[in-house]
Chains A and B, each alone.
Chain A
């Protein structure tokens, strides 16, 4: 497909969507065949050539999806992964919910009410942090456990960072609980300071683990087709942080800003990407766990 223009660019983009291995083996042949097909169609008129180009691009997109799906045949549902997946999907959003009373806070409050939580209770936020930190630790450890291609030292470092980071967030929540108590204590100010430091440092540690594990996962396809999910979570958290900082800097009333569309989208992206990461864990067996089921040989 030598003709430049939008169709040529679409063809190039569709080619890029094919799995690298498939592209390197058949990419040149596909280009030649596409070129010959379009050349032949051109002899029947411009409309025919345009139709041929469109059909080729659509077919390549479908082929890209098919080839990726076949390539990820190791992905299948596993019960241990499901537990870790649910923990991840819930844990990270819970930590974010503990920072903010907006976004999906209504959902958190409603869920808490079902189990008898009074959302006005000072213990609610710290409890959410503690549970969120525990669930996040389970999820991060499961993620790191799937990085079998990484060096042992890297895996150990990530495990330690995940546990320490989540522990810091949990302890930060506990310290904030001491701060939130109505009783006047000389340690109140110190609790606030320590809580803030622990929450901030723990959050950064979790972010660091997600970045490192995300890069390794993408390189080694550790989570199959969902290997991008850890970095998607990082992106959503970074966006949330960026939007929040922009809100502080803009001088707009925080009440107005936090309820604005930018913040709502940023907040909701965290649970969405966390669910993706959870799905990645649920669909990818741990290296020492369930093995992939052998597939029946079928031509297509």
Chain B
């Protein structure tokens, strides 16, 4: 990832990628933790299957948006040692830029009365 890369260069994000960044925004998680958090937060509408999840994780790591934290035991699960991932500074800026982009779109839709009950019009 070059130093000149701006968050907007990486937009728009796909839905799984955006949700993975959101999931890691507040704490480090392993794959299963990300999958569970996304599913619960979206009330089951987004369920990340293993292939999609790790394909996205690979690319996010390659772009420097997330990084491996450490391998440790999850007390809620068994003794399986899992890799934890955390969001990077660039990852936070990209997630914020994507959220702002989506918010701007939603605002435009609200102005055209296509989105009711959203924000200040």
- Residues of chain A whose beta carbon lies under 8 Å from any beta carbon of chain B: 14, 18, 22, 25-26, 29-30, 32-34, 36-37, 55-56, 58-64, 66-67, 70, 296-300
CA–CA, A33 to B38, complex, Å? 14
Main SS class of interface, B:
helix
Question: In the bound complex, how far is the Cα of B79 from the Cα of A160, in angstroms?
Answer: 60
Is the CB–CB distance between A32 and B82 below 8 Å?
Answer: yes
B49 lies within 8 A of A55 (CB): yes
Q: Which residues in B have some Cβ–Cβ distance to A below 8 Å? A: 1, 5, 9-10, 13-14, 16-17, 30-32, 35, 47, 49-60, 63, 65, 77, 80, 82-83, 94
Which residues from chain A contact B51 at a C-beta distance below 8 Å?
14, 18, 30, 56, 59-64
B35 touches which of A37, A61, A62, A299 (Cβ 8 Å) = A37
Smallest Cβ distance from A64 to chain B, in angstroms? 7
Contact A32 B80 (CB under 8 A): yes
Tell me which residues across on chain A come within 8 A of B60, comparing CB atoms: 299
A contact patch SS:
helix
Contact present for A33 and B17 (CB under 8 Å): no
Q: Which residues of chain B have C-beta atoms less than 8 A from A70's C-beta?
A: 59
Report B24 CB to chain A, min CB distance, Å: 13
Provide the bound-state CA to CA distance between A200 and B32, in Å.
60
Cα separation A67 to B57 with both chains bound (whole Å): 12
User: In the complex, which of the residues A37, A66, A300 has the most CB atoms of chain B within 10 Å of its own CB atom?
Assistant: A300
Question: With the chains together, A56 CA to B35 CA distance in Å?
Answer: 13
Could you write out 21 A-B pairs with CB less than 8 Å apart?
A22-B54, A26-B54, A29-B54, A30-B50, A30-B54, A33-B31, A33-B50, A58-B49, A60-B49, A60-B50, A60-B51, A63-B50, A67-B55, A70-B59, A297-B1, A297-B9, A299-B17, A299-B59, A299-B60, A300-B17, A300-B55
Task: Report yes or no: B14 in contact with A59, Cβ–Cβ below 8 A.
Answer: no
A199 to B5, CA, bound (A): 59
Q: Which residues of B contact A34 (CB under 8 A)?
A: 50
Residues in chain A near residue B50, CB distance under 8 A: 30, 33-34, 37, 56, 59-60, 63
Q: How far is the CB of B121 from chain A (nearest CB, A)?
A: 31
In the complex, the answer to whether A36 meets B32 with C-beta atoms within 8 Å is: yes
Contact B63 A299 (CB under 8 A): yes
Verify B5–A297 contact, CB threshold 8 A.
yes
CA distance A67 to B80 in the complex (A): 26
B residues near A60, Cβ cutoff 8 Å: 49-51
**Chain B hits for A56, CB < 8 A:** 49-51
- Minimum CB–CB distance from B22 to chain A (whole Å) comes to 13
Chain B residues near A36 (CB, 8 Å)? 32, 77
Docked complex Cα distance between A32 and B33 (Å): 12
Q: B57, A26: Cβ atoms under 8 Å? A: yes
Please state if A299 and B49 are interface contacts (CB–CB under 8 Å): no
> Which of A59, A63, A66, A299 lies in contact with B10, CB distance below 8 A?
A299
Chain B: which residue is nearest A25 at the CB level? B58
Contact residue among B13, B30, B55, B63 (Cβ-Cβ distance under 8 Å from A66): B55
| A59-B32 CB under 8 A given contacts A296-B9, A300-B56 | no
**CB atoms of B52 and A63 under 8 A apart:** yes
